[in-house]
A and B are shown apart, each in its own frame.
Chain A
Amino acid sequence: MQPRDLRDGAVAADTFTRQAAAAPLTCLLALAGIVCLYPAATTAAADLTEAEERGKYIYETGRSRSRRVINADLGGGEAPTPGYVLPCINCHGADGRGAEDYVGIAPLNVNWYALASTGLHSHAVRSHRPFDELTLARAIIFGLDPDDNKMEKAMPRYDMAQEDVQDLIAYLKVMDSQSDPAISSSTIRVGTVLPTEGRHTALGQAIRQTIEAVFDEVNAKGGVNDRELQLAVGGWNDDGNPQIWAARDLVNKEPVAALVSPYVPNYDAELEALATEKRLPVVGPYTVLQPDGDEDEDNHFTFYLLAGLELQARALVEAAVARVTPGETGLAIVYPRVRFFDELAAAAADQADALGFASVTEEVFELNEFPAESTVLNLQGKDTQAVLFLGNAAELSQFARRAAEAGWQPLLLSPGLLAERNVFELPESFDGRVLLSYASLPTDYSPEGAADFELLHEKYGFDYSYSIAQVNAYLAARVLVEGIERAGRNLTRQQLLEALEGLDDFHPGLAPALSFGEDRRIGSVGAHIVPVDLVEDRFTEPVRWIVPPLEQ
């Protein structure tokens, strides 16, 4: 058997050694004509039922524990080959995911999640409906897919007893928990991606410390379903290499069952793609950009916790309606030319159109070259009474000052995390004309959550300089632990994914309630809209919680 790829080389070698060690005994027993039990599971992770265990034996050896004959028919008319010559594992691999093969035969992924996944299954020369137990049994015995297409010649037809087929299928359903090297019977290893060298080391350290603190507390109480949580770290440096390399290398070299609170600024889209490619649940990336968010099928594996900039921008536009009359005013969207900002501006513009704003003007500026004066000049003439401002705090300040000088006081809408710094230094003439958005506020903290975080803070000596990152890491770790717990003892990545999807109105302590779902990958989609009092220099009431309507 060829290892599926080199990443699995080490695992394959390990498995091989154990099997080799057990081989003489197995062979002696076989010679003696005694039914020999296959040595107990190689890297047994979860506990198998008897049927699953028998199925595993068939998968790996091509023999039946009950000594019933299994034959493989290659379809060439020659005599049947004994099943043990062509066991499933030879082509589909120990993890069932098939093999990368350069000569054109690509054995398919036979994990149940792949066989039964919804939608049309398209292969080179045929396509078919998802498998169910009946059609899979038929495929194994008769070589027909669920739509009656003949399967590839390389896949033998197996003459085997109905009971054995059932056992085999029972095993295929759970094999991803067996073969996942990140999950053993006593541990589960998850990863994160952080700066470990260079200018951002302290931030990375704060995130790591928080995740480890949550894990330590859980482990001290016996772990999750008797499994200890372990953290593997993929570290990046600000040496100019793409940070996503750290994520790739981590996932390729060190088996992890999920990523928690990874931080790869500017590579959010690539992280989503990596998660999808590796079928790896990613919980709570530390980012405000959610490239695919809830929007399409491309993001099935990345779970964002709170509303990112796009949702916040849309909530701000929604909030503007209480302050200006859309039909009588235009809305301007001012933003820097930065990756993804065009998309969030477009989403906000759609929202403004839907709300009936008289016009929507987009003003894009080059990063760090904000032309405050000309922007004000451009917009002031257009009867614009609301400006969604997506530049930074300094740029907002320049803009407001220029506008005040020109005697123009539009409603300023801005995400707090961009504009909050020095917001009270905006001209007083903008008093009551500034709204900031926040995906979460301390008012969302539950007493228990706040106390727990405070406890960790004292016990582990958290440095509060990076509290936003730490809160994110805390939330991500809590959500992950909850998902792992709900997935149960027979943990697989697929079950973890489904458990995360199943979180509904889950209160992680330091955030609004989170709800995911089959088509939902952002846990909290609303934003607090906070008015700013520029006379008293404070945030004022009423703070509104706005959930932007779903996009069409």
Chain B
Amino acid sequence: MFKPAIHLLARSVAIAAILSIASAPVVAGTATADKAAAEEKARDYFSNVELVDQNGQRLKFYDEVLKDNIVVISFIFTNCQSACPLMTRNLTMIRDMLGEDERRSIQFISISIDPLRDTPSAMKEFARKHDADIEGWLWLTGQPDDVNYITKRLGSYTDDPEMHTTTLLAANVPNAHWTKIEPNVPPNGVVARLRMLAEENATP
């Protein structure tokens, strides 16, 4: 099967290290052990720092947000006047283009990069404004230290929210396959990319 090129995240050498470990050829028979080891590695890297979703639920980042999932991650702040609403609208379009089963299997995640101002209710309002306060879409905020830790691990940290990245991250987490999707990729291109990531799971 066609294996898409692995896009390393800019500014994140450590993720590159994980990718190379996890995508090393797996010897039959030790696959389960290796998978567990890879998972442990990923948990160490991404951590189980707790973030808070739009309903006030605290979620361990690796175990309760990432693990076992196909994810697409965006970075937003609710006071954003320009890119975030557009990006979010694109994401809702992308989500609409997916089939029902696909929607169930792909976890949408939007992480605040202005956590002190973005309370869970503010995130919920923002999501609702974009018809995106829905099952399968997590809007995450939290203590600034925690959120910054995660955004750094995802290579998307910024001091100044106005300068934040509009790049999306998409990943097949179990396969430790992370890709970066530039903002100029049209929605159907993103859909194709997500489908490729999702199908990886189907192959042994």
Residues of A within 8 A of B (CB): 6-7, 100, 102, 106, 240-242, 244-245, 248-249, 252-253, 267, 270
Q: Could you say which residues of chain A place their CB within 8 Å of the CB of B81?
A: 100, 102, 106
Q: Would you call B115 and A242 a contact (CB within 8 A)?
A: yes
Q: Would you call A241 and B143 a contact (CB within 8 A)?
A: yes
Q: Would you call B129 and A249 a contact (CB within 8 A)?
A: no
Nearest CB in chain B to that of A5: its residue: B125
Q: Would you call A249 and B119 a contact (CB within 8 A)?
A: yes
Nearest CB in chain A to that of B124: its residue: A6
Q: Could you say which residues of chain B place their CB within 8 Å of the CB of A252?
A: 119, 121-122, 125
Q: Would you call B117 and A102 a contact (CB within 8 A)?
A: no
Q: Would you call A270 and B143 a contact (CB within 8 A)?
A: no
Docked complex Cα distance between A119 and B91 (Å): 41
Docked complex Cα distance between A241 and B125 (Å): 18
Docked complex Cα distance between A253 and B125 (Å): 11
Nearest CB in chain B to that of A245: its residue: B119
Q: Would you call A244 and B116 a contact (CB within 8 A)?
A: yes
Can you name 20 A-B pairs with beta carbons within 8 Å? Answer: A6-B128, A6-B129, A7-B125, A100-B81, A102-B81, A102-B85, A102-B86, A106-B81, A240-B143, A242-B116, A242-B143, A242-B144, A245-B116, A245-B120, A248-B119, A249-B122, A252-B119, A252-B121, A252-B122, A267-B116
Docked complex Cα distance between A270 and B116 (Å): 8
Docked complex Cα distance between A485 and B52 (Å): 42
Q: Would you call B128 and A248 a contact (CB within 8 A)?
A: no
Q: Could you say which residues of chain B place their CB within 8 Å of the CB of A270?
A: 116
Docked complex Cα distance between A253 and B144 (Å): 22
Docked complex Cα distance between A100 and B78 (Å): 12
- Is B53's CB within 8 Å of the partner chain A? no
User: Which of B50, B115, B120 is within 8 Å of A240, CB to CB?
Assistant: B50
Within 8 A of A (CB), among B22-71: 50, 52, 58
Min CB–CB distance A250 → chain B (angstroms)? 10
Q: Could you say which residues of chain A place their CB within 8 Å of the CB of B116?
A: 242, 244-245, 267, 270
Q: Would you call B125 and A6 a contact (CB within 8 A)?
A: yes
Docked complex Cα distance between A242 and B82 (Å): 26
Docked complex Cα distance between A466 and B125 (Å): 37
Q: Could you say which residues of chain A place their CB within 8 Å of the CB of B85?
A: 102
Nearest CB in chain A to that of B89: its residue: A102
User: Which of B115, B121, B128, B142 is within 8 Å of A253, CB to CB?
Assistant: B121
Docked complex Cα distance between A267 and B115 (Å): 13
**Which of A6, A106, A245 counts the most chain B CB atoms within 10 A?**
A245
Docked complex Cα distance between A7 and B117 (Å): 15
Nearest CB in chain A to that of B120: its residue: A245
Q: Would you call B52 and A241 a contact (CB within 8 A)?
A: yes
Q: Could you say which residues of chain A place their CB within 8 Å of the CB of B86?
A: 102
Min CB–CB distance A279 → chain B (angstroms)? 15
Docked complex Cα distance between A106 and B82 (Å): 12
Nearest CB in chain A to that of B85: its residue: A102
Docked complex Cα distance between A7 and B85 (Å): 17
Q: Would you call B122 and A248 a contact (CB within 8 A)?
A: yes
* Chain B 114-136: CB-based contact to A (< 8 A → 1; otherwise 0): 01110111100100110000000
Within 8 A of A (CB), among B140-181: 142-144
Q: Could you say which residues of chain B place their CB within 8 Å of the CB of A249?
A: 119, 121-122
Q: Could you say which residues of chain B place their CB within 8 Å of the CB of A253?
A: 121
Min CB–CB distance A253 → chain B (angstroms)? 7
Within 8 A of A (CB), among B85-130: 85-86, 115-117, 119-122, 125, 128-129
Docked complex Cα distance between A107 and B128 (Å): 24
Q: Could you say which residues of chain B place their CB within 8 Å of the CB of A100?
A: 81
Min CB–CB distance B183 → chain A (angstroms)? 16
**Which of A6, A7, A241, A249 counts the most chain B CB atoms within 10 A?**
A241
Q: Could you say which residues of chain B place their CB within 8 Å of the CB of A7?
A: 125
Docked complex Cα distance between A267 and B117 (Å): 12
Nearest CB in chain B to that of A269: its residue: B116
Nearest CB in chain B to that of A267: its residue: B116
Docked complex Cα distance between A253 and B86 (Å): 25
Docked complex Cα distance between A241 and B81 (Å): 26
Min CB–CB distance A2 → chain B (angstroms)? 11
Nearest CB in chain A to that of B142: its residue: A241
Min CB–CB distance B119 → chain A (angstroms)? 4
Beyond A7-B125, A252-B121, list 10 extra A-B contacts (CB 8 Å): A6-B125, A102-B81, A102-B82, A102-B85, A241-B142, A242-B144, A248-B119, A249-B119, A252-B122, A253-B121
